[in-house]
Amino acid sequence: MENDRRRRQRNRIWLALLLLGVIIQVNLIFSESPPAQSATALLNSISDKETSDTPEKSKPPQQPNSAQKPDPSAPAKPAKPSTNTASSPDVPAVGKMIAKIPTSKPTVYLTFDDGPGKYTKDIVAILDEHDVKGGFFWIGQNVKTERDSKLARQMLANGHIIGTHTMYHEKLWKKPKDVQIQIIRTSTEYISQKIGAPIYYFRPPYGAVDQNTLLASKETNQILAYWNVDSLDWKYGDKPDLIMNNIAREVKPGSIILMHEKEHTVQLLPKIIKLLKDKGYGIAPLPTPKPAKKA
């Protein structure tokens, strides 16, 4: 009896210590860490739990009440299914940071930041030629002319995805939640109006995020698209081999691959697509909800 009570007491003390440890860790994650570390922590602590490489049928999205939330039993279909589209994954939930989108077949997602610009057309042409889809994260101030809007409509009709990347490439990290909401909402509304279609994806400039960014993306009904393969095309413009090796080494089933609308990326793109196909990957568009009436 005496032993039992002591054991229970000891268990309780251990439990309390464990809890204390968890609280301290959570506080560390969300306090003063630099952006990269903060992003990694957010991904590890929040996103990875739902993004293991198992088919997501067994993992219904946990996101409550979102207007754009799809029926989890009904996989989203791209506007125009590509022959290379490996499968139709569920649409990720808003308010969560995703770095990969697991599917039952090896699928990866090509994404291009900082457009639209003078290379957008070339990138789209290469993708179309190879019958693969891309996700484009546009900066509001770059979307100006009717030509941009027209290109966007063509891209959407061909099954590409357009998301936002703020109006002026602003860093969100450490800004108050209301300010972050405003930044996301302004660019989403502006670009959505310019391209004449709803927008489901937001990518934070510099990948600089904190807890408020998650809350802001939930508030604005946006999926927070991170990546788990950085092609490093922003860094190694003159070293294409490094970019290729980097993608080859890092890519996994479900990977979201980060690239930019740059000249050398255009030149490398056919090789990148070949590399991924040779590795057995299908290249799919980021999954979106079925067409909703929301403008």
Residues annotated as catalytic are: 113, 260
Largest CA distance in the chain: 81
State the Cα–Cα distance between residues 234 and 246, nearest whole angstrom: 13
Q: How far is the CB of 127 from Zn ion (least distance, A)?
A: 19
Name which of 113 and 233 has its Cβ closer to Zn ion.
Answer: 113
* Contact region with Zn ion (CB under 5 A), list: 108-116, 171-179, 187-195, 218-226: 108-116
Q: Is the dihedral of CA 226, 34, 141, 240 positive or negative?
A: negative
Residues in Cβ contact with 164 at an 8 Å cutoff, skipping those fewer than 6 apart: 137, 138, 139, 140, 184, 187, 188, 191, 199, 201, 202, 203, 222
Name which of 114 and 170 has its Cβ closer to Zn ion.
Answer: 114
Name which of 113 and 210 has its Cβ closer to Zn ion.
Answer: 113
Q: How far is the CB of 148 from Zn ion (least distance, A)?
A: 17
Pick the binder of Zn ion from 56, 90, 113, 210 (CB under 5 A): 113
Pick the binder of Zn ion from 114, 148, 233, 261 (CB under 5 A): 114
**112 has which bridge partners?**
136, 259
How many residues bind Zn ion (CB under 5 A)? The answer is: 3
Residues in Cβ contact with 82 at an 8 Å cutoff, skipping those fewer than 6 apart: 131, 132, 133, 159, 283, 284, 285
Q: Which residue has the tokens 């039992």?
A: 4
Q: What is the footprint of Zn ion within residues 194-253 (CB under 5 A)?
A: 205
List the x/- string, 151-190, binding to Zn ion by CB under 5 A. ----------------------------------------
Q: Enumerate binding residues for Zn ion (CB under 5 A).
A: 113-114, 205
